[in-house]
Amino acid sequence: MFLISSLTTSAQDVHIDGRLQPLLNEFFEICKSYGIDYHDQFFKLESIDIVNTLTVSEEASTLGMLRRNSNGEVIAIDISWMAQLDAEILKTVAFHEFAHYFLEYSTHICDDCGKIMSVVNSSYFDIARDWDNQVKLLFEESPALKKKYALTGLTYRLNKP
Ligand SMILES: [Zn+2]
């Protein structure tokens, strides 16, 4: 409740699509449980939105993307309307893009290995079935968390929630 109210009162400049808001809240709750600070990054954004501007083709459609300004700074997280065709796809794509930005994944971890940070995912269903474990890996293997532990010198605990 605190998170929701603090976002709505202080984040008037960041436009968030209502369909992505619950996923963003869930993502931020997990950030909090790992002690990852997302506030500064969040307020640098203009929008987290569902858009119809990403490439759609038979071979490959872009389901999500970080949009940058001319200085190369991320200003928006764009999710394709196509990702909405299935709730599990939307959730995976949203967490993938959130992780690129908030967890500082500047690259992907593999081409198609059935993880959230794969370049492509042939089966969103496999990820959905293994969701809690997938999210745990996403956070625990993230550059943001590794950086945090390197900075604080704290011991990395694999049994964190
Ligand atoms: Zn990606």
Query: Which residue in this structure is represented by tokens 């992907």?
Result: 108
Checking if the pLDDT of 157 tops 70, the result is no
Checking if the pLDDT of 4 tops 70, the result is no
For the stretch 120-150, pLDDT in tens is 888 888 999 999 999 999 999 999 999 888 8
Distance 74 CA to ligand 1 centre (A): 14
Rounded to the nearest integer, the mean pLDDT of the chain is: 88
Per-residue pLDDT at 51: 96
What mean pLDDT comes out for the span 6-35? 85
Distance 124 CA to ligand 1 centre (A): 14
Predicted confidence band of residue 156 (pLDDT cuts 50, 70, 90): low
For the stretch 23-63, pLDDT in tens is 999 999 999 999 999 999 999 999 999 999 998 777 778 99
Distance 106 CA to ligand 1 centre (A): 8
Checking if the pLDDT of 6 tops 60, the result is no
Nearest to 22 by CA among 7, 42, 38, 40: 7
For the stretch 77-116, pLDDT in tens is 999 999 999 999 999 999 999 999 999 999 999 998 999 9
Task: Count CB neighbours of 27 within 10 A.
Answer: 22
Distance CA 4, CA 7 (A): 5
Distance CA 34, CA 45 (A): 22
Distance CA 128, CA 133 (A): 10
Per-residue pLDDT at 121: 83
Distance 68 CA to ligand 1 centre (A): 14
- Those residues whose C-beta lies under 8 Å from the C-beta of residue 91, and which sit 6 or more positions away, are 23, 128, 131
Task: Name beta bridge partners: 76.
Answer: 47, 67
Distance 160 CA to ligand 1 centre (A): 25
Q: Under DSSP, is residue 155 helix (H, G, I), strand (E, B) or coil?
A: coil
Amino acid (1-letter code) at residue 105? Y
Per-residue pLDDT at 11: 45
Where are the domains positioned within the chain? Answer: 2-144
- Give the global pTM: 0.86
User: pLDDT: is 156 or 149 the higher one?
Assistant: 149
Could you please report the per-residue DSSP string of 94-149? Answer: HHHHHHHHHS---S-SBSSSSSTTBS--S-HHHHHHTHHHHHHHHHHT-HHHHHHH
Distance 2 CA to ligand 1 centre (A): 30
Distance 97 CA to ligand 1 centre (A): 6
Instruction: Kindly indicate whether the domain formed by 2-144 is annotated with CATH number 2.130.10.
Output: no
Per-residue pLDDT at 60: 75
Distance 99 CA to ligand 1 centre (A): 9
In this structure, are strands 64-68 and 74-80 parallel, antiparallel, or unpaired? antiparallel
Distance 70 CA to ligand 1 centre (A): 20
